[in-house]
Amino acid sequence: RTVYVNGDYLPEDEAKVSVFDRGFLMADAVYEVTSVLGGKLIDFEGHAVRLKRSLDELEMAEPCSKEELLEIHRKLVELNGIDEGLVYLQVSRGSDGDRDFVFPSADTTPTIVLFTQNKPGLADSPASRKGAKIISIEDIRWGRRDIKTVQLLYPSMGKMMAKKAGADDAWMIEDGHVTEGTSNNAYFVKDGVIVTRPLSNDILHGITRKAVLRMAAEAQLKIEERLFTIEEAKEADEAFTTSASAFVMPVVEIDGVALGDGTPGPIAKRLREIYLEESMNAAI
Ligand code: PMP
């Protein structure tokens, strides 16, 4: 695999980042994941805009322009022959050469790393045809989940808790309400109404969420952005998640309770189809 590090395209085993890098030592880094379908980038613009926002919120310098970023994404897709897959991008505050809680001076060069993941069958995945089983766990993450930082230890532990329970993923609960999935936004559907938590600092502002809610509105589906409990979701007709890497993923079971007939619901399946078609048409 060819990866990108600070201006260079290199074989992955030749790429280097400092041991003092604050991304490594302090999770002082932000990231984006953009999917690739038919060799093209899905919603690059959305991811570039959110990256800028994450960097601004943390007073981190932009490593390069949006045009350069697009160029790097495209070149990696081409060099690695990706038809279906993902491009991972990480920007950290870098380092001035030592470990210190105080931020290094503002002119410190940020570290930028990108790599691809080849995922043939991403669009027509067996997982999406089966649907996901989820469990609920407590949300004990920090309070700025709207910033896409690499503090992924708890989401990673949540995924492990799900695996140990024989499920696929976990939804997190704070103050009695579902926040989001470990790496996706959460929705349920009851009597034809799609319910999802409103945007705030409590959840990541999903790029796929934005697109799917727009497409749902265009398809005349009813949407309610409000807080909801896991009990409501368990009594739903169907449920699903959205993310750049899994698009619209039907949820068929919550905490051992099957939703509907235990297979992917019609609205989730329809939104997945609409999302894939429209975003592939708009891919660049
Ligand atoms: N919430 C969390 C916690 C996530 O990690 C992700 C995916 N990175 C999402 C939601 C979905 O966001 P997007 O649609 O932009 O991938």
CA 268 to chain centre: 18
Q: In whole angstroms, give the CA distance from residue 240 to residue 249.
A: 5
Question: With a 6 A CB cut-off, is 111 part of the ligand 1 pocket?
Answer: no
Nearest of 36, 6, 249, 265 to residue 128 by alpha carbon: 249
Domain with CATH 3.20.10.10 in the chain: 126-282
> In the structure, what pLDDT confidence band is assigned to residue 9 with cuts at 50, 70 and 90?
very high
Query: For the residues 227-236, what does the mean pLDDT come to?
Result: 98
Q: In whole angstroms, give the CA distance from residue 278 to residue 284.
A: 12
Architecture of the structural domain at 126-282: Alpha-Beta Barrel (3.20)
Q: What is the mean pLDDT of the chain?
A: 97
* Interface predicted TM-score of the whole assembly (ipTM), two decimals: 0.99
Do the beta carbons of residue 284 and residue 39 sit within 8 Å? no
Q: In whole angstroms, give the CA distance from residue 87 to residue 108.
A: 25
The model's pLDDT over 104-156, given as tens digits with 9 standing for 90+, comes to: 998 899 999 999 999 999 999 999 999 999 999 999 999 999 999 999 999 99
Percent residues over pLDDT 90 in the chain? 99
Q: Tell me, what's the pLDDT at 135?
A: 98
| Fold type of domain 2-118 | D-amino Acid Aminotransferase; Chain A, domain 1 (3.30.470)
Which residue has its alpha carbon closest to ligand 1 atom 4? 183
Count of CB atoms situated within 10 Å of the CB of 36:
26
Query: For the residues 173-197, what does the mean pLDDT come to?
Result: 98
Query: For the residues 255-278, what does the mean pLDDT come to?
Result: 98
In this structure, what is the dihedral angle of CA atoms 123, 282, 33, 156, given to the nearest 10 degrees? -50
The model's pLDDT over 22-31, given as tens digits with 9 standing for 90+, comes to: 999 999 999 9
Asked if pLDDT for residue 219 goes beyond 90, the answer is yes
Candidate of 183, 213, 241 to mutate for ligand 1, largest count of ligand atoms within 8 Å of Cβ: 183
pTM higher than 0.90: yes
Q: Which atom of ligand 1 has the smallest separation from the CA of 203?
A: 1
98 Cα to the center of ligand 1, angstroms:
32
Q: Tell me, what's the pLDDT at 106?
A: 87
Domain with CATH 3.30.470.10 in the chain: 2-118
Question: With a 6 A CB cut-off, is 40 part of the ligand 1 pocket?
Answer: no
Question: With a 6 A CB cut-off, is 207 part of the ligand 1 pocket?
Answer: yes
Q: Tell me, what's the pLDDT at 97?
A: 92
Nearest of 216, 212, 243 to residue 128 by alpha carbon: 243
The catalytic site residues sit at 148
Question: With a 6 A CB cut-off, is 186 part of the ligand 1 pocket?
Answer: no
